[in-house]
């Protein structure tokens, strides 16, 4: 069975319903992105599809490719048993298959682009023997896949459920236990593949970089869990600086260090590696802030749309207001213990949180563009710039 056939079948396995975009479809017409309206899916897809042409192939499902060993039939079968249960793994799996914005395999694409943008090292000629396709070394392509593997592994591990917090609405305990089991094993399987891939690169500096990125990512996910809202909807008082540190860990570190590792593989010097790191870091930060802003800038939002109380606009809003006033606002937005998100959203929009989040997003976007300036002009560099423009445009 070819990759395409298998991937087209996966949605059926997962009991998916609703509108689906074909995973391997690309947008045929290339329209200048400047003419498009801000964050329409068509615009984002377009930036991505142009980028994919530059690197040579569609990068969706990079991490799922590794599952195409004999284990896939086992994992898919096991995940199928979860259909009808409430285990988060099912949602994660569906998200991986459906090409939604949040689960876009962005990291891999960025690593490929920056590899191409940097080109071969002018100083060090020892990479002459590596094979290069579309301006990217095969080891760098491998690295892009490894990055996606690590990201997906933690995505899966995020979906573990605490068994003693289950309620009767979550369904039978047995299902949750089984779901946990499959989630752990699948995540571990992806990590094992990532480790093997790293070993094959025969470069211990790169192994160290990616291993430390994994460590950062795990700590970032841990913070996400810990600072999520408790029963009374009041989150920890973290402040924007701490938020930045934690977001770097959970969203920035992997991309930043992978970009740096891609430079190391091509034997670029420390300065180039640092620029790649900076691009990765700032681009990831602005992407996260953009994603946090979505509930606050969309014109039509349903009343039931919830948002994360630890997202950038909310944290900034809280910081401007001061802790006590913020808690008061939350209490006012509560009705019979349930939070009225629509009301809270209006309250936040009326404050300074949203605008300063937009400023922060643009700040990081600019830092990313600055880092790109040290790379020679090329198609790949333009694509990287376009990605930054796409995530910082809010009008």
Partner 1 sequence: MASSWWRWRRCCSWRPAARSPGPGSPGRAGLSGLRAATAAAAAAAARAQMSYFNLVKSLTSAFPNMYSISRFHHMTPAVCCCSKTRSGEKYTDPFNLGWRDLKGLYEDIRKELFISTTELKEMCEYYFDGKGKAFRPIIVVLMARACNIHHNNSRNVQASQRAIALIAEMIHTASLVHDDVIDDASSRRGKHTVNKIWGEKKAVLAGDLILSAASIALARIGNTAVVSILTQVIEDLVRGEFLQLGSKENENERFAHYLEKTFKKTASLIANSCKAVSVLGCPDPVVHEIAYQYGKNVGLAFQLIDDVLDFTSCSDRMGKPTSADLKLGLATGPVLFACQQFPEMNAMIMRRFSSPGDVDRARQYVLQSDGVQQTTYLAQRYCREAVREISKLRPSPERDALIQLSEIVLTRDK
Least distance to partner 1, CB of residue 88, Å: 10
Residue with smaller CB distance to partner 1, 163 or 350: 163
Which residue in 302, 278, 260, 259 sits closest to 367, CA to CA? 278
Least distance to partner 1, CB of residue 237, Å: 16
Residue with smaller CB distance to partner 1, 81 or 323: 81
Q: Which residues of 55-66 are buried (b: 16+ CB within 10 A; e: fewer)?
A: beebbbbbbbeb
Residue with smaller CB distance to partner 1, 164 or 231: 164
Residue with smaller CB distance to partner 1, 133 or 192: 192
Query: How many other CB atoms sit within 10 Å of the CB of residue 327?
Result: 16
Residues contributing to the site for partner 1 (CB under 8 A): 71, 74, 78, 154, 157, 160-165, 177, 180-181, 184-185, 187-189, 191-193, 195-196, 198-200, 202-205, 207-208, 211-212, 214-215, 218-219, 221-223, 225-226
- Cα separations in angstroms, 295 against 246, 274, 322: 21, 34, 22
Residue with smaller CB distance to partner 1, 247 or 392: 247
Least distance to partner 1, CB of residue 225, Å: 6
Q: Which helix (H) or strand (E) holds 334?
A: strand 334-335
CA–CA gap between residue 259 and residue 380 (Å, rounded): 14
Which residue in 112, 94, 184 sits closest to 148, CA to CA? 112
Residue with smaller CB distance to partner 1, 200 or 305: 200
Least distance to partner 1, CB of residue 211, Å: 4
Least distance to partner 1, CB of residue 185, Å: 6
Least distance to partner 1, CB of residue 109, Å: 24
Got the DSSP string for 91-139? HHHHHHHTT-GGG--HHHHHHHHHHHHH-S-SS--GGGGS-EETTEEHH
Answer for the pair 357, 293: CB distance below 8 angstroms, yes or no.
yes
């Amino acid at each position: 069975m070819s990759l395409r056939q298998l991937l087209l079948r996966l949605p059926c396995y997962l009991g998916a319903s609703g509108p689906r975009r074909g995973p391997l479809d690309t947008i045929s017409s290339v329209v200048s992105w400047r003419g498009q309206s801000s964050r329409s899916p068509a615009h984002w897809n377009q930036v991505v599809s142009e980028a994919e042409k530059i690197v040579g192939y569609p990068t969706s499902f990079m991490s799922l490719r590794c599952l195409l060993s004999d284990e896939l039939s086992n994992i898919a079968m096991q995940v199928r048993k979860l259909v009808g249960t409430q285990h988060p793994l099912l949602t994660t799996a569906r998200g991986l298959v459906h090409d939604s914005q949040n689960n876009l395999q962005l990291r891999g694409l960025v690593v490929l682009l920056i590899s191409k943008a940097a080109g071969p090292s002018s100083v060090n000629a020892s990479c002459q023997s590596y094979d290069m396709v579309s301006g990217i070394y095969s080891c760098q392509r491998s690295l892009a896949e490894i990055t996606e593997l690590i990201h997906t592994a933690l995505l899966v591990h995020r979906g573990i459920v605490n068994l003693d917090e289950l309620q009767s609405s979550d369904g039978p305990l047995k299902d949750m236990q089984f779901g946990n089991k499959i989630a752990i094993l699948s995540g571990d399987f992806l990590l094992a593949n990532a480790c093997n891939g790293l070993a094959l690169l025969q470069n211990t500096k790169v192994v160290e970089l990616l291993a430390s990125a994994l460590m950062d990512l795990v700590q970032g996910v841990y913070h996400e869990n810990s600072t999520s809202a408790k029963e009374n909807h009041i989150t920890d008082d973290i402040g924007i600086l701490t938020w930045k540190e934690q977001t770097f860990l959970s969203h920035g570190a992997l991309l930043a260090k992978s970009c740096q590792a891609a430079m190391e593989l091509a034997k670029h010097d420390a300065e180039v590696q640092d620029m790649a790191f900076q691009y990765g870091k700032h681009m990831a930060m602005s992407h996260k802030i953009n994603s946090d802003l979505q509930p606050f800038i969309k014109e039509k939002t349903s009343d039931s749309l919830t948002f994360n109380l630890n997202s950038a606009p909310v944290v900034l809003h809280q910081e401007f207001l001061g802790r006590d006033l913020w808690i008061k606002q939350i209490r006012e937005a509560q009705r019979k213990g349930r939070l009225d998100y629509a009301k809270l959203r209006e309250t936040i929009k009326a404050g300074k949180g949203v605008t300063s989040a937009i400023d922060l997003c643009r700040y990081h976007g600019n830092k990313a563009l600055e880092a790109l300036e040290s790379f020679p002009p090329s198609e790949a560099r333009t694509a990287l710039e376009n990605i930054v423009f796409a995530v910082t445009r809010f009008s």
